[in-house]
Amino acid sequence: MSAKQVQVEIAIVLAITFGMSGLRSLLRLIDDLLSPVALNEQTVALNSSMADSTWLDLALQLCSAGVLFGWGALAIYLLSQPFKMAQLRDVGWGAGLAALIGIPGLIFYVTAVHLGLSKEVVPTTLSSWWEIPVLLLWSAANAFGEEIVVVLWLSTRLRQLHWGTVEIIAASAVLRGSYHLYQGVSAGFGNIIMGIVFAYFYYRTEKIWPLVIAHFLIDAVAFVGYSAIGGNLSWLGL
């Protein structure tokens, strides 16, 4: 594949996936900052109902999660290279990365809310019988779509353009931060830090599954944990 073809592919894939999501998030953040309501007095729900009918809501949830799986599958297809399945040791690495990112991330989020740099993030407002399975599905979809596209595919393509390691890690991290800006300024910076850690890990190991597993665990604990405690964040001071 020529450099021109790689550049065109990057532009197209980002335009239909996380690049466009990043642009939308930036515009949403600007709108939120222009609001007379302080950022930390605003609320954003990560998983909410999409229809009044329970069955239609479930169908829409499945379709939306399927889009993320589709993005990841498209990236794998475009790479046209052998894709290794997860191994047992990847689970250990993933759990370690989840703890490394998740615990400091929670502290960072609480601090950011108190400083007015973040909205109050509500992991889920779902209340149907299928809530937990769908939250786990969303966790898997987010993890698969983001790590495959933002780390595996993007790193591979930028390497083919002869970008340096620092530039590749920075590009991956900034992209990850951009599409989280709808949650607040701090979410962008927090996810840039996460992006640096994840992209560097991939650079050193060339293993993507630990990142997918870590991302899944972080989201699953946040989504399902919030649902399990009934949405009560008083213990966090929120």
Q: What ranges do the domains of the chain cover? A: 3-236
pTM of the model: 0.91
- Give the pLDDT confidence of 69-118 residue by residue, as tens digits: 999 999 999 998 888 888 999 999 999 999 999 888 878 777 887 777 77
- Give the pLDDT confidence of 127-160 residue by residue, as tens digits: 888 999 999 999 999 999 999 999 999 999 999 9
Please report the pLDDT score of residue 238 as a whole number.
Answer: 41
* Confidence check: pLDDT of 235 > 60: no
Please report the pLDDT score of residue 111 as a whole number.
Answer: 81
Please report the pLDDT score of residue 236 as a whole number.
Answer: 42
Please report the pLDDT score of residue 113 as a whole number.
Answer: 75
Question: Which tokens hold the place of 236?
Answer: 């966090």
